[in-house]
């Protein structure tokens, strides 16, 4: 094991709720299990309806206090203190992410924890420097000055997923706090540790009680459902599966609550014959297999212009077979496990289905064997398919594992049509050296973000979100500020 992360047994063995500034235990608990070797990492408090209500009531009390009236620069200072607190415990957060997800240590250091810090710093800077809106108008009633004020929504329920736990958790908590809201947050039951460490940071810096509350538990008929249905919650922000988003939408309908959803994807990568070949192969390798394919932005559909097709498949096969699957605590590991045995069973089900649907398995398609404790983990082989029709379930349904299907295409119109022929619309990447083609194709693709000759690069000031069944609403920069605040226009007669 490297010296940059603590062993899992050095992390907290009991993970509790954080309500009204205090850690609170519960009678019921569940196991947090390592996806690397199946060991129990910790016991996690299971919130009942009473605990969920207590967290929401604490948030409502705090919302009526000084936090709501605090000026933006003061809230920005608090966000900077939170970022400093994460940074001071950087290795602890790395250890938590690696233990819960099994991702390689280098990724947890360079992406997950670094981005968690950046989320708080970015929104601290944005709220401190956000421009106002002022308009002068002359009317028959006199000269008017119009300006726009932002007020917090109130109590925001945050429900975050397991694939990038700290990154996506802080992506929602940071702007919610920046705009003066109080938060009740539920991390995924699969990855509860880094959220608990964040609650420790909130306590240690002296964040006012009730401003940030954390509850652990499951979704349906449990903490997640009780949070979304509670009348004391003013808005819900959720990242996760599309079917869960649909259930949340139904739960909040009667209360007409604000919602922001970032849901599933069946993302495409398009490689034109004029692409920088090596860059495209490297890019698709990353976009298909980063975090064992468990990123909502990963490419599960790859379209390659026909003159390049066979060469591209061979090159990606070679690069994929060079990936090193194994324990994140071993030097050289590039690819960790899936999040759980249950998720592995789902992915292996698609591996079997692909063969039934007529796929050619270029590489992978099975379960690696290690001859050690990792054989009890949730590993699968990185997998490439070809020869499936566009309407095959393995080409249309989100798998969320280390897999891609590669298909040839002949012209721009064809590939744009095939990329858009999807129930999802989250992300896409286009690989070409033609600037005119890039600007011509990218706007035609029906997704929330299109990368050209890149993947997974984010300016946190830009809007992010999906179309179709990939969600609605946008977060990032002023778009997050818009979602997490209520706008009021003030019109003053000045003459």
Cα(97)–Cα(193) distance, integer angstroms: 7
Cα(101)–Cα(98) distance, integer angstroms: 5
Return all residues near 494 (Cβ < 8 A) that are at least 6 apart: 142, 143, 144, 145
Residue 374: active-site member: no
Residue 404: active-site member: no
Cα(146)–Cα(489) distance, integer angstroms: 7
Chain centre distance of CA 160: 7
| Residue 36 structure tokens | 């690397």
- Of 236, 133, 120, nearest in space to 178 by CA: 120
Contact of 97 with 166, CB cutoff 8 Å = yes
Per-residue DSSP letters for 329-384?
Answer: TSTT--B---S-HHHHHHHHHHHHHHHHTT-EEEE--S----SSGGGGS-----EE
Indicate which residue of 182, 296, 374, 404 is catalytic: 296
38: left (phi over 0), alpha (psi -120 to 50) or beta: left
- Of 27, 9, 192, 19, nearest in space to 97 by CA: 192
Indicate which residue of 46, 262, 398, 446 is catalytic: 262
- Of 490, 486, 479, 488, nearest in space to 152 by CA: 486
Supply the angle between the helices 72-88 and 114-129 in degrees, to the nearest 10: 170
Contact of 157 with 236, CB cutoff 8 Å = yes
- Which residues are catalytically annotated? 262, 296
């Amino acid at each position: 094991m490297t010296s940059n992360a603590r062993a899992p047994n050095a992390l907290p063995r009991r993970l509790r709720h954080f309500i009204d500034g205090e850690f609170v235990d519960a009678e019921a608990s569940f196991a947090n299990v390592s996806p690397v070797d199946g060991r129990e990492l910790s016991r996690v408090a299971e919130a009942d309806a009473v605990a969920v209500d207590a967290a929401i009531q604490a948030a409502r009390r705090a919302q009526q206090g000084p936090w709501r009236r605090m000026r933006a620069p003061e809230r920005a200072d608090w966000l900077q203190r939170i970022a400093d607190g994460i940074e001071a415990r950087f290795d602890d957060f790395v250890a938590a992410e690696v233990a819960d997800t099994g991702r390689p240590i280098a990724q947890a250091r360079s992406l997950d924890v670094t981005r968690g810090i950046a989320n708080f710093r970015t929104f601290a800077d944005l709220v401190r420097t956000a421009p106002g809106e002022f308009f002068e108008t002359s009317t028959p009633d006199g000269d008017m000055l119009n300006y726009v004020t932002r007020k917090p929504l109130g109590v925001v329920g945050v429900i975050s997923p397991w694939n990038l736990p700290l990154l996506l958790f802080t992506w929602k908590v940071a702007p919610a706090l920046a705009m003066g809201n109080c938060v009740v947050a539920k991390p995924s039951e699969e990855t509860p540790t880094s959220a608990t460490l964040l609650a420790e940071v909130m306590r240690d810096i002296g964040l006012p009680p009730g401003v940030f509350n954390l509850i652990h538990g499951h979704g349906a008929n449990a903490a997640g459902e009780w949070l979304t249905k509670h009348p004391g919650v003013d808005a819900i922000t959720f990242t996760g599966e599309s079917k869960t988003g649909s259930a949340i939408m139904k739960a909040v309908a009667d209360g007409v609550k604000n919602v922001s959803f970032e849901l599933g994807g069946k993302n495409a990568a398009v490689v034109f014959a004029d692409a920088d070949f090596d860059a495209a192969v490297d890019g698709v390798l990353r976009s298909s297999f980063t975090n064992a394919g468990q990123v909502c932005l990963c490419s599960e559909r790859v379209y390659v212009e026909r003159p390049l097709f066979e060469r591209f498949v061979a090159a990606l096969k070679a690069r994929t077979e060079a990936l090193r699957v194994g324990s994140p605590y071993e030097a050289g590991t590039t690819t960790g496990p899936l999040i759980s045995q249950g998720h592995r069973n789902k992915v292996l089900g698609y591996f079997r289905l692909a063969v039934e649907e007529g796929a050619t398995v270029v590489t992978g398609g099975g379960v690696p064997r290690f001859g050690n404790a990792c054989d009890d983990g949730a590993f699968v082989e990185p997998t490439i398919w070809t020869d499936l029709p566009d309407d095959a379930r393995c080409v249309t349904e989100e798998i969320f594992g280390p897999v891609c299907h590669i298909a040839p295409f002949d012209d721009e119109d064809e590939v744009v049509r095939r990329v858009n022929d999807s129930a999802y619309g989250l992300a896409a990447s286009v690989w070409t050296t033609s600037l005119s083609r890039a600007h011509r194709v990218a706007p035609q693709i029906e997704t929330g973000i299109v990368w050209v000759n890149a993947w997974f690069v984010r300016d946190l000031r830009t809007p992010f979100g999906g179309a179709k069944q990939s969600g609605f609403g946008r977060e990032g920069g002023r778009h997050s500020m818009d979602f997490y605040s209520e706008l009021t226009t003030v019109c003053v007669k000045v003459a």
